[in-house]
Structure 1
Amino acid sequence: MSFHAIGDLAQYMNTRRHSANLQSRIGQLTQELSTGRTSDVTRSLNASFGHLADVEHQITLNSAFKTAATEASVQAGAMQSVLDMVQKQVTDISGTAMLAGNGMDGPALAAAAATARGGLDSMVAALNTGVAGRPVFGGTGLDNAPLISGADMMNAVLAAVSPAGDAASVIAALDAFFDTPGGGFDTEVYVGGDQNFSAFQLGGGESVQLSIRADDDALKAVLKDTVMAALAGESSLSLNHGERSSLLQKAGNSMLSTVDGVSRIRSDLGVAEARIDQSVARIGAERTSLSMVRNELMSVDPFETATALEQAQLQLETIYTLTARTSRLNLVNFL
C-alpha cells in the first residue's frame, strides 16, 4: 500500500497560496460589487474588444465635438454681445447727430461730435474683443487686434480728408477711404486676416462658420458714419458751422439705414447660435447613449457577483478553521 504525503512546510506554503488567492479574489469581487463594473475586462468580453474599442473611439470624437461646440458657443455669444453694443451706440449717436445737425448752436454741435468720437473708441475696442487670446472679428489674423485704435483711425482719416474744403468733399473723401477696395480702410485701418476662420466641426456632418469680420460692409458703414459725425467737431478742418451741421445731419440719417446692416448680421449670427445650441443638445444625448453602452459592456451581474463573493469568503473562513485545528495537533493527542 502506497502512501503520499507532503511536508509541513510545503503544506504551509500551499495553504498560504490558496489564502492569498482567495483574499485577492474577495478584493476584486468587492470592488466589482461596489462599482458595478468588471475589474477584468478581458474575461468579461471574452477577449473580444472590437465593440468596446469602437465605443471608446466614438466617445473620444464626441468629446472633441463637445469642445468645438463649446468654443463656438462662447465665440458666438461674444460676437452677439459686441454687435449689440455697436447697434446701441449707433442708435444713440444717430439721434444726437440728427438733433444737433438740425440747426443747433455751436456747443450742441461740438457735444454731438464728441459723443460720436467717444462712441468710435468704444466700437473699435469692442470689435477688437478677443476670446481665449483670439480676436473674434479678425478672421485668420490671430496675432493682433483687427482694427487700429480709434485715435489712429481718426488720424488716418484726417490725412485723407484734410484737403477737402466743404462738407460734400469731406463725404466724398470718406467714401473713397472706406468703400474703395484696397483703399485707406483696407490698408491702414483693418489689420486682421483676409480669410474667415475655419468652421467649427460639430459632428453628425454639421459645422458652423462664424465668418463676421471687422471689415464686413455693414460694420465699415457704421464706422464711416461714426467718423463722419466725429469730423464735425475737428477744428483742423476748415469748415463753417453750416457745413459741420451738414456732416452731422448726413451721418445721423445714414446711420438709420446702416444700423439695419448690423441687425442683419446679428440675425444671421442668431441662426448660427441656434444651430450651435441644437448641436450641443445632440452631442450631450450621444454622450449619454455611448456611456450607457460602455457601462453595459463593462458591467457585472450584482447577484452573481454577490454569490461569488460569499463563496470566496466561505472558502477563506474554511481555510482559517482548518489551519487553526491543524495548529493544535501534537503527538500526545494523537497517541
Structure 2
Amino acid sequence: MSFPAIGDLAQFMTTRRQSATLQSRLGQLTQELSSGQTADVTRRVGASFGTLSDIEHRLTLNAAQKTASAEAAVQATTMQTALGMVHAQLTEISGATIFSTGIQEGGAFDAAATAARGGLDAMISALNTHVAGRPVFSGTDLASAPLISGDEMMNAARSAVSGASDAAGVIAALDTFFDTPGGGFRSIAYKGGDQDMSPFRLGAGESVQLSVRADDPALRSAMKSAVMAALAGDDGLTLAQGQRGALMQAAGAAILSDTDALTHIRSDLGHAEARIDRAMARNSAEETSLSMMRNKIMSVDMFETASALEQVQLQLETIYTLTARTSRLNLVNFL
C-alpha cells in the first residue's frame, strides 16, 4: 500500500502559513478583548454597511457642529464680556457727569471730563478684543482691530469740532462725525468690515448670527457721548465755561439713552448665548446616542472572544510543539 507523502519544503510552508494565520487571528482577538469592539468590521456587520456608515456620517457631522457651537460660545461670551466693560464705563461716566451737574468748573467737573477720557480708552480697548487672533467686533474684516486708539479718536473729534463756538455747534459737529454715512467715524475711526460674519451653524437646521460690530449705532453713540464729555473739559476748545457745562449735561443725558440701547444689544446677545448652550447640550446628547448605537453594532461578546483566544493559543502551542519535534528527527533516531 502506498501512502501520500508531503515534501519537507511543502510541509515547512504549510506549517508557516498556518502559524501566520493563527498569529494574525491571535492579534485580532487580543485587540478585540482589550477594546471590546470587533477588529473585523466586515465579518461583524456582514455585507451591508448602510447603518454603520450612516452612524459614522452623523458622528462626523455632529463633531463639526460641536466645534461650531464651541466657537460660537467663545465668541458670544467674549462679546458679552466686552460689552459689559463698555456698559460699566458708561455707568461710571454717567455718575461723574451727574455729580458735576451745575458745576461748570472745579474738581468735580474736571473729574467728570477725565473719567470720560479714560472711559473712552477702556471702551475702545474692549471693542478691539481679539479671540484666537481674530478681532471680535470687526465683522468680516479679520485682519486688524476695528477701532483706532483713544488719542487718535480724540484728535479726529477735535478737528471735527474746531470751528464750533458753543455747545450746540460741538454737538452738531460730533453728530456729523459719528453718524453721517461715510463721515469721519467711518472713514477715520472704524477700520472693520462692512458685512457681518457668517452665521454659526449649530445643527438641526439651527444657526446663530453674532452680528455686533464696533460701528453699531449704539456703540458709536456711546463713544460719541464719552468724547463729548471729554471735550467739555478739553483746554483746546475755545468754549465759554457755561457752554462747557451745557456740553457736559448733554453728554450725561445722552449716556442714559446709550445705556438703554446697550442693554438691548446685550439682551439679544444673551438670547443667542442661551440658544448656543441648548445646541451644545443637544449635540452632546446626540453624540452619546450615536456612540452607543455604534458600540452596540461593533461590540463583541467578551466570553466568546476569550474562549476563541484560548483556542488559538492552544493551536499555536500545538504547532510549535510539532515543529520542535519534527526538527529533531534524523535517520539514526528513525532506525
* 1:104-132 deviation line (CA, Å, top 9, x unaligned): 53333222211111111111111111212
Distance in 2 (CA, whole Å) between partners of 1:116 and 1:310 is: 80
Bigger drift between 140-149 and 114-123 goes to 140-149
Residue aligning to 1:115: 115
Change in Cα spacing, 1:16 to 1:177, as seen in structure 2 (3 Å) is: closer
Kept in 2, the 8 Å contact 1:75–1:136? The answer is: yes
Q: Does 1:147 align with 2:147?
A: yes
Partner SS, residue 201 of structure 1: strand
Residue aligning to 1:26: 26
Residue aligning to 1:309: 309
Shift of 1:133: 2.0
Shift of 1:158: 1.2
Distance in 2 (CA, whole Å) between partners of 1:182 and 1:320 is: 87
Kept in 1, the 8 Å contact 2:25–2:312? The answer is: yes
Q: Identical aligned pairs, as a percentage? A: 66
Matched length? 335
Shift of 1:327: 5.2
Query: TM-score w.r.t. structure 2 length?
Result: 0.93
Shift of 1:93: 0.6
Partner SS, residue 100 of structure 2: helix
Distance in 2 (CA, whole Å) between partners of 1:3 and 1:74 is: 80
Kept in 2, the 8 Å contact 1:101–1:246? The answer is: no
Residue aligning to 2:78: 78
Shift of 1:79: 0.5
Kept in 2, the 8 Å contact 1:127–1:147? The answer is: yes
For residue 203 of structure 1, what is the amino acid of its counterpart? G
Partner SS, residue 254 of structure 1: helix
Kept in 2, the 8 Å contact 1:128–1:145? The answer is: yes
Kept in 2, the 8 Å contact 1:199–1:207? The answer is: yes
Residue aligning to 1:288: 288
Partner SS, residue 202 of structure 1: strand
Change in Cα spacing, 1:189 to 1:333, as seen in structure 2 (3 Å) is: closer
Bigger drift between 55-64 and 5-14 goes to 5-14
List aligned pairs for 1:97-246, cutoff 5 A.
97-103=97-103, 105-246=105-246
Residue aligning to 1:249: 249
Distance in 1 (CA, whole Å) between partners of 2:154 and 2:212 is: 23
Change in Cα spacing, 1:243 to 1:316, as seen in structure 2 (3 Å) is: same
Change in Cα spacing, 1:160 to 1:325, as seen in structure 2 (3 Å) is: closer
Shift of 1:273: 0.3
For residue 166 of structure 2, what is the amino acid of its counterpart? D
Shift of 1:230: 0.3
* 1:51-84 deviation line (CA, Å, top 9, x unaligned): 2222222111111111111111111011000111
Distance in 2 (CA, whole Å) between partners of 1:12 and 1:271 is: 74
Partner SS, residue 101 of structure 1: coil
Kept in 2, the 8 Å contact 1:98–1:248? The answer is: no
Distance in 2 (CA, whole Å) between partners of 1:145 and 1:54 is: 43
Distance in 2 (CA, whole Å) between partners of 1:268 and 1:149 is: 28
Residue aligning to 2:50: 50
Distance in 2 (CA, whole Å) between partners of 1:149 and 1:234 is: 18
For residue 264 of structure 1, what is the amino acid of its counterpart? H
For residue 251 of structure 1, what is the amino acid of its counterpart? A
Distance in 1 (CA, whole Å) between partners of 2:220 and 2:47 is: 63
Distance in 1 (CA, whole Å) between partners of 2:332 and 2:175 is: 120
For residue 58 of structure 1, what is the amino acid of its counterpart? R
Unaligned runs of 5+ in 2: none
Partner SS, residue 213 of structure 2: coil
Bigger drift between 85-94 and 247-256 goes to 247-256
Change in Cα spacing, 1:161 to 1:27, as seen in structure 2 (3 Å) is: same
Shift of 1:216: 1.2
Kept in 1, the 8 Å contact 2:104–2:241? The answer is: no
Query: TM-score w.r.t. structure 1 length?
Result: 0.93
